[in-house]
Structure 1
Amino acid sequence: MQQARIAVLTNVILDYRRPIFEALQGNKSLYLRIFLSSPLSESDRLAQINLPMFYSKAFNLRFRTFHKHVDSEQVEKLAVPISLIWDLLDFKPQVIISGEFGLRSLVAYVASRIMCVPLALWSEEIEQSAMGITIIQRSLRNFLIPKASFFLAWGHPAASYLRTFGAHENTVICCAQAVDNAIWRGRVESYDKAHLVADMGLTGKVFLLVGRHVKRKGFDYFLRAWAEVPNHLRANNSVLMVGDGDESLRLRALAETLRLSEVRFVGAKHGEELGKLYAAADVFVFPSLVDVWGLVVNEALACGLPVLASRYAGVSQELGQVERAVGVLEVFDPLDIVGFTSLLSKWCQNDIRVDPKHAHALVERLHFNVTIAAFNDVINRCLTK
């Protein structure tokens, strides 16, 4: 049987995306090629070994998006394709799947018209994260979205955003923003929590925050809210802040200014080291001001933790509406310091406990198979279009 030639266009393949493309690569009916706008070395190591990835030459410029509604900015790569059009014409795909609404997808559209093949776009963008886009970006989306045959939306908030541009509901297929739930659950179950907490010198309830130390992650809002928690509650509990970045020194200085001696900065952690911190924690806090999703929330839930999640993140917009979220995931506004402080004070109380099984049940609906099925569905629809 002749294999269908499928071109996937993106910047990089990271570890949490790799299982999806490994499954597609294992589909014997498909001949998959992944065209990257960034050098292969920037992708996951195992992806470099296992996946048919190809670096399509491009200029990668730094592009800043200003989110005035939350007074923050986001720095991303803007890929300017150099050889992509020729690489696609040489590969002769029967379906092109392009991730994002930028110049790469514009080239993908041109190639799809030349070769008369369907174009599918994938997107993580949600309404809140798109509030800072420029007029040019919006115009490009207004042009591209009607031209695509199908869409892969990473989460229901992303699907809702696509529909604001007129994408028909029948053409939008939802993927799951997922991590390997079983791996994260296994990492915490290997520890004895009482011994771990004692060894780390932690007291009371342990509040955990994980993420890059950049302004849009909202860690400074957490510190200001935590400083307003009554002393008798705050002093008897602990805070672990995981991550590094441009804001690290400023955050440490702010904690010192506010005399938050119970706040401990532990630097960036990954894999088993991060799993150890999830095992020591009692509550996970995600105060992001701009986030298309927030996969650390998935990790925390898979580790059995209750989560306090910002209303500005895609994960809270999707999971916060689920019946199972009651008592497991609370949605709040990090810009409302009074409300944020009240929420933290409530969770400082010793009588609030959450069964880890309830957290597991909330995140179990988000897994790789949902996304693998979505990609296969879009590919099959494109091939029969």
Structure 2
Amino acid sequence: MEALAFYGIGDIRYEQKERPRLEKDDEVIIRVKYAGICGSDLSRYKKLGPLTPGNIFGHECSGVVEEAGSRVTNVQVGNRIAVCPQLKCGECEACKSGFFAACPNLLVIGAKEPGGFASYTKVPAENVLKLPDNVSFQEAALIEPSSVVLHGLFQTKLQPGKTVAVYGCGTIGLLACQWAKLFGAEKVVAIDIDSEKLQLAKELGADEIIKPEKSVSTYSKLMELTDDNGVDLAIEAAGSIQTSEEVFAAPKKGGEVLFLGIPYSDITLKRFYFERIVRQELTVRGSWNAVSAPFPGREFTTTLQFLKEGKLRTKPMISHYLPLKEGPNIFQKITSGKEKAMKVLFEVGK
């Protein structure tokens, strides 16, 4: 089968790999239809390298059940499905309590186990969700990143009438803008350095946009848009050093900060930003992964429901549809700045 294997920093190869085989009676083999490049995939490609050199990369995918083990009851061969890529151990105290995100052995496919950038992949049956007839494979490939956003928002006090600022308008940030409005936020402010991303944020629900400038601080612009109050919830979705600091200036007294992005460098807080945490009595939350109890969690089932009802829009975020063989080229182009992309989907098997 065709696959993209990750060997080292900047080294992804299009190869032929052996098709997976059922080894346990609770597993399913999936014929992958679409698989998306995650921002974390780009960071690992450029900065960190693979956990297992030569492993099949990728974790955001959808497809069709090709084979099912003898004890599988939730899906049948031929079912259209989305994949929850998180693999929990099920044995630790965190797993036994339903706090799967804290599992010390939690992994996603594409890390140490073969991932979704391939003709076929294999996961436990509990990791797949049947798709409603009106939800496409393309939309389903973005269910996991949507669930990442929901996992964080479910921990906050966000409710109708609140105000939200979203720092970073990549896939996670755009989904955060949408979900904030679906939660009933009165005003959502999207912040990014890319004009095209900001325009897409407006199309997907942001009420106001801010493009940082050297002459006027983002903080002053945000205060102007919120009558000098700040917002109830500030979301860091860029994973940059700068926004990981600036996000603390956005909330009002008693407000919240939610970190969805992951910076890959040390963060140093200027006194102004640290004092905002203390003087504003902020609640600062980190959010990791996308799963909860009952596994895979309400993050995935809620996303499916809102896709089915047409309330969540993921297709406008897809900028590229490519065959797997273009994988090495597109990774190099995006990380080198030679090509701009929002969400890249591989059309597998075409």
Q: TM-score, normalised by structure 1?
A: 0.31
Question: Quick check: which one's helix share is greater?
Answer: 1
Higher Cα Rg, which structure: 1
Question: Quick check: which one's strand share is greater?
Answer: 2
- Bigger relative contact order, structure 1 or 2, given CA contacts below 8 A and separation 6+? 2
